[in-house]
Amino acid sequence: MTEFYLIPTWFFGFSSLLELFFGLITLGVALYAFYVNRFCDEREIKLFGYGFLAIALSYFSWAFVNWYVPFKASIQEEIFRFNNYEMLVSLGVYAHVFLFLIGLVTLVFLTMMREGNRLYSLLVILSFLIIVFSEQKIISFYFVSSLLLFYMIYHYGREFYEEGGKHNALMLLAFIFLFIASVDFTFSAINHIHFVAGHILFLIGYLFILFNLVLMVKPFLRKQKQKNG
């Protein structure tokens, strides 16, 4: 039986809410990307939107699992051993793994500024092969995610070094926190505290992304408001 996570039972409701919140932030970024793309029809913006949409769906799937487990199971211990005890739970966790990796690979591929699908398919296949052939699938998933997030840090680090600016700084900070969170989650099958700490670190990371999005949308909304009245 594969052990997914160790979760303190008091954290179940909070974790679902946080995952839902991460899903809403990333969905917001995706929808705004699709809106902007309506006017420019740019491949990069469309891919960026799909990347964030996959991440949003992955969080909704995870939120569902963490809502469903305490709803269905009678949990008496203080720490819940989250393993594949039920088909639906396994499906939810693997949907989260699959969609999150697809989203991250899409974003990393985008930062490489390459045309064509060969590199993209190679990245996807390699990422999944590592997980499929691993005994500890969740640990491998967070290991691969950390690696991909590290590439995102490199991308935004270089952008910030070359261009500066608050937007690049915010995205760099966001991905640093997401990276640390992902590394922390690698240990979530060992000690339950990593599951809580990982969520808090993810929250900080996604708040930076949300702040960046708000900074972008605000002048546009102000302009629209002036136009309308």
Partner 1 sequence: MGKKRSRLEIIRDILVVIKEKSGKIKPTHILYKSNLSHQMMDEYLTELLKKGFIEEGEREDKGRTYCITKKGQMFLERYKMIADFTEGFGIG
- List, as one string, the DSSP characters of 199-212: HHHHHHHHHHHHHH
CA distance 69 to 49: 30
Stretch that binds partner 1, among 93-101, 116-124, 166-174, 194-202 (CB under 8 A): 166-174
Return the residue of 21, 48, 60, 195 that touches partner 1, per CB under 8 A: 48
Residue 59 near partner 1 by CB under 8 A: no
Residue 206 near partner 1 by CB under 8 A: no
Residue 32 near partner 1 by CB under 8 A: yes
Name the residue nearer to partner 1 (CB basis): 155 or 199: 155
CA distance 145 to 172: 16
Name the minimum Å distance from CB 94 to partner 1. Answer: 29
Segments of the chain assigned E as strands: 3-8, 79-83
Region of residue 164 (left: phi > 0; alpha: psi -120 to 50; beta: else)? left
Taking the C-alpha atoms of 132, 98, 73 and 68 in order, what is their torsion angle to the nearest 10 degrees? -170
Stretch that binds partner 1, among 8-16, 44-52, 125-133, 139-147 (CB under 8 A): 44-52
Residues of this chain that interact with partner 1 (CB under 8 A) are: 29, 32-33, 36, 39-42, 44-45, 48, 110-111, 155-156, 159, 165, 167-168, 171, 212, 215-216, 219-220
